[in-house]
Structure 1
Amino acid sequence: MKTVRIAVLAYSGSMPTQLFGIADVLRIANDMSLSLGAKRDVRLDVELIALPNRKVIVAGGLALRIKRPVGSYDLLIVPGLETQRYQDWTAKLTPLTREVDFIRHSFSRGTPVAAVCVGAFLLGEAGLLNGRKVTTAWLFAGDLASRYPEANVNSDAILMEDGAVVTTAAVSSAFDLAIHLIKRHLGADVATATAAITLLPSQRASQSPYVDSNLLERELPTFSQNLVQWFEVRLTETYDLERVAQAFHVSGRTLIRRVKAETGRSPLALLQQARVEKSKHLLKSTNWTIAKIVEAVGYSDVVSFTRLFAKLIGETPTKYRHR
């Protein structure tokens, strides 16, 4: 029987949910594989490891005694760590230089690496994100992009795989990673069965439905931010580029150029985002019909707005409200 050795790296401040959650789900998958008679020649061997002479006190203050790494692994998983909304990342990561060195050394020896949530920052310190498409928790995606400018950060994705590096979204995406690994090594039927008995979603594609714009830090006043605020009190008005440009004492071409330079998007795209954000609030806080909400944010056609909402959020207004 082929054994796939998967190491989950424990370190001071790491999140126990991710440490133990991944290991538990992968062990359940082994049992499901035997029960279904599928790929019985493969077994996932999951080990929690920590660096020698390290006293591991995980988030919440729980002290753990964990074995040191032995031999080579087929995958190294780096969980996220306890953090704060406004984090001094240099101060947070400096005590973890040994772990960062271990990650870098393991990768250089050919071990693929996966990071859960803000575990991506440890991969960034190790230089593994440079030139790669990566993701992390949407709340910290801006911090990741700022600290590691050579990484291509996708704040929408649940899971990104670029070569031998996998990164995932926020805390519960540890289970998305587990299902991803089960599907790869044990087969789709085992992944589906494991997801079913553990009450896990078998596939999530986007973080967008979970984003709360009120929790995202507002940038310092800029031309584009002023434009968004202007749009927010005029959502029901018909979009007219020249009228908007006049309000900001610039030409239409200048308006488009400045917004593009600051955000990478068009003025119309900013208006559409503002309308969708308002509709999300109304879907959560009122009993209004979808049609009434659509009208309240400046649209007359429910179908076209539903398409826009689904494109930006990853699900329809009705599904968003139910969830």
Structure 2
Amino acid sequence: MPLTDVAVIAVDGVAPFELGLLCEAFGLDRRDHGVPLLDFAVCTEGARPVRSSMGFSLQVEHGLDRAASADLVAVPAMPKGQAPSDAVLEVLVAAHDRGARVMSVCSGAFALGHAGLLDGRECTTHWMYTDELAHRFPAATVVPEVLYVDSGPVVTGAGSAAGLDAALHVWRQEYGAAVASTIARRAVVPPHRDGGQAQYIARAVPECAADTLGPLLSWMQENLADDLAVETLARRAHMSPRTFARRFRDETGTTPHQWVTRHRVAAAEELLERTDQPVERIAAEVGFGNAAALRHHFTRVRGVSPQSYRRQFAC
């Protein structure tokens, strides 16, 4: 069954930005752009006003019983110094046990940890809190350098805006790349950000006289079928291959090869959904060269073959 029903749990001290991200991602009516309308609600224990972390209150109309029907139960950033109430923890565990997705944004991961849902799983949170999360929940495997982690039914987003990356990932898994891209365009964000939160950790600015790689990245996106080897890109950027590779990782948080592969897979997703072109032709158009290479990279990134993806998401 595809995702149709989303409940977001708000507790006292909820961060309004992260709560707003979840409302933006799952609560808006975008049917005029071909996006399915979800049954969406914010809920809390006792259906009462909830104090935000910014000094104002929110009137929440739904109690925690609203989450009983949800396919996705999400927790935005919340105070990490104390466990949620037993009632909230019971809702999270019940959602997991019935097979629903459970998602956290930023410090919301601590609520999932208190519920025992991170035990034996990879997960993440804001880079400022990853050490604390690992210390408090040693049975979890905390991955500090990523924007989000999808560990089966449990999805954890890193700090703040990474919650939108995680939400777009859920949309992509449920309804395909075209729907996720539509939502991203409405929100004026990229449908998939490369790299991870390591690029946002405070550190000394490296000495480098090179200009930003933004124009080159745009050119790469528009010319995926071209030769995009490091040596070729380095010449275009007027750098040595070693300097280019280092600069690329500093600016994007990933390697040139990983960046190119992911964008080629994303382009293949769009073509598989929107056209009936054979896989061999799509492989050539996005730069993989042949169907075997496309199948290899597509399956490694998406977990399914191109043909299976097309059967599921073709328009």
- Tell me the TM-score normalised to structure 2 length: 0.63
SS in 1 for 2:54: coil
- Mapped pair 1:282 → 2:243: no
SS in 2 for 1:93: coil
- Supply the distance in 1 between the matched residues of 2:44 and 2:130 (Cα, whole angstroms): 27
Equivalent runs, 1:200-215 vs 2, <5 Å:
200-205=189-194, 206-213=196-203
Equivalent runs, 1:222-233 vs 2, <5 Å:
none
- Residue number among 180, 194, 197 corresponding to 1:191 in the alignment: 180
Q: Which amino acid aligns with 2:242?
A: S
Q: Which amino acid aligns with 1:24?
A: E
- Tell me the equivalent position of 1:314: 253
- Supply the distance in 1 between the matched residues of 2:152 and 2:136 (Cα, whole angstroms): 21
Answer yes or no: is the 8 Å Cα contact 2:48–2:59 preserved in 1.
no
Q: Deviations over 1:142-197 (max 9, x none)?
A: 11111111111111111111111000110111211232233233332122122123
Moved over 4 A (4+): 308-313
- Tell me the equivalent position of 1:24: 24
- Tell me the equivalent position of 1:81: 78
- Supply the distance in 1 between the matched residues of 2:94 and 2:179 (Cα, whole angstroms): 33
- Supply the distance in 1 between the matched residues of 2:253 and 2:246 (Cα, whole angstroms): 10
Judged with a 3 Å threshold, the aligned counterparts in structure 2 of structure 1 residues 114 and 2 are, in CA distance, closer, same or farther, namely: closer
Q: Deviations over 1:275-299 (max 9, x none)?
A: xxx5x3435xxxx347xxxxxxxxx
- Supply the distance in 1 between the matched residues of 2:72 and 2:3 (Cα, whole angstroms): 12
User: Identity percentage over the alignment?
Assistant: 29
- Tell me the equivalent position of 1:304: 242
Answer yes or no: is the 8 Å Cα contact 1:3–1:43 preserved in 2.
no
Q: For the pair shown, which has the larger CA radius of gyration, 1 or 2?
A: 1
Which sections of structure 1, spanning at least 5 residues, go unmatched? 83-88, 214-277, 291-300, 318-323
Q: Which amino acid aligns with 1:129?
A: L
Q: Which amino acid aligns with 2:202?
A: D
Q: How many residue pairs were aligned? A: 224
Q: Which amino acid aligns with 1:212?
A: A
- Supply the distance in 2 between the matched residues of 1:197 and 1:53 (Cα, whole angstroms): 31
Which sections of structure 2, spanning at least 5 residues, go unmatched? 212-238, 257-315
Shift of 1:3: 7.0
- Supply the distance in 2 between the matched residues of 1:307 and 1:139 (Cα, whole angstroms): 27
Instruction: Please tell me the root mean square deviation across aligned C-alpha atoms, in Å.
Output: 2.8
Of the structure 1 ranges 106-115 and 1-10, higher mean CA displacement relative to structure 2 is found in 1-10
- Tell me the equivalent position of 1:58: 52
Q: Which amino acid aligns with 2:241?
A: V
SS in 1 for 2:20: helix
- Supply the distance in 1 between the matched residues of 2:100 and 2:158 (Cα, whole angstroms): 21
- Residue number among 28, 39, 43 corresponding to 1:45 in the alignment: 39
Shift of 1:27: 3.8
Answer yes or no: is the 8 Å Cα contact 1:3–1:45 preserved in 2.
no
- Supply the distance in 1 between the matched residues of 2:130 and 2:241 (Cα, whole angstroms): 31
Answer yes or no: is the 8 Å Cα contact 2:83–2:114 preserved in 1.
no
Q: Deviations over 1:42-71 (max 9, x none)?
A: 432211111126541111122222111334
- Residue number among 149, 158, 162 corresponding to 1:173 in the alignment: 162
Q: Deviations over 1:15-66 (max 9, x none)?
A: 11122222223344x42x4434x7xxx4322111111265411111222221
Q: Which amino acid aligns with 2:119?
A: N
